[in-house]
Amino acid sequence: MSNLLKPSQYVSRSWGLIGGADVVQAAVRDVAERLSALAADVARILNTPTSEFLGYNSNTSAALAAGTWTLLAIDSVVHDTGLEFNTTTSLFTAKRAGRYLVTGQAEFSKVTPAAANYIEVGVYKNGALFTSLGYYRLPVASAGNPHTTSINGTVVIPLMQGDRLGFYVKASHTNWTVSSASSTGTTLFGVTRVS
């Protein structure tokens, strides 16, 4: 809009036209073209389907195997505007190509962890680890005592139509448990298309 001519450029102080009807017609065409482009942009934005998913693990807590990435069961859906999440497989499948904001959080607990214990959360894309979202190593002072902690992280991932995402967890030693929740408060997974 800053490139439009100001009204003072069309009309003199005595309200006479400067440059005649040609200038006014050119200005009107310019405004019409800009409004048409703006209308096309608005229509594109309004017709772009949203893709937002948020779900959580509501079942009983799950014990983790040592040193293995494990798909976290996401069995409860808060919302899924694109109908892209499958609670049976716990996988999100993109219906459209784009960039997706992915968020994951898991709460872990262990009765008597050793100081060398660590836990990690990550996102798999099409069956392979795409990135780790967060990592936690147990402090030496906490060794031997019951311990609970949460790990969360966020990443933007480019997806093509049909690409699949899953939220995974990993523990260095046995007897770590991923907590379940009666709401979205402790263990959750979210995916939103941002562009």
Parse the chain into domains and list their residue ranges: 7-46, 52-193
Give me the pLDDT at residue 144, please: 65
CA 40 to chain centre: 27
Strand 98-110 with 91-93, pairing: unpaired
User: pLDDT per residue over 93-132, tens digit each?
Assistant: 999 999 999 999 888 877 666 667 788 999 999 999 999 9
d(Cα 153, Cα 134) in Å, to the nearest integer?
6
Which pair of structure tokens corresponds to residue 103?
Answer: 């968020």
Would you tell me which CATH number, out of the four given (2.60.120.40, 2.60.15.10, 1.10.10.10, 3.40.47.10), belongs to the domain 52-193?
Answer: 2.60.120.40
Mean of pLDDT over the chain = 78
User: pLDDT per residue over 45-96, tens digit each?
Assistant: 555 567 899 998 887 667 788 889 999 888 889 999 889 999 999 999 999 9
Give me the pLDDT at residue 12, please: 44
* Residue with tokens 């409860």, as numbered in its chain: 76
Give me the pLDDT at residue 73, please: 87
pLDDT at 39 over 60: yes
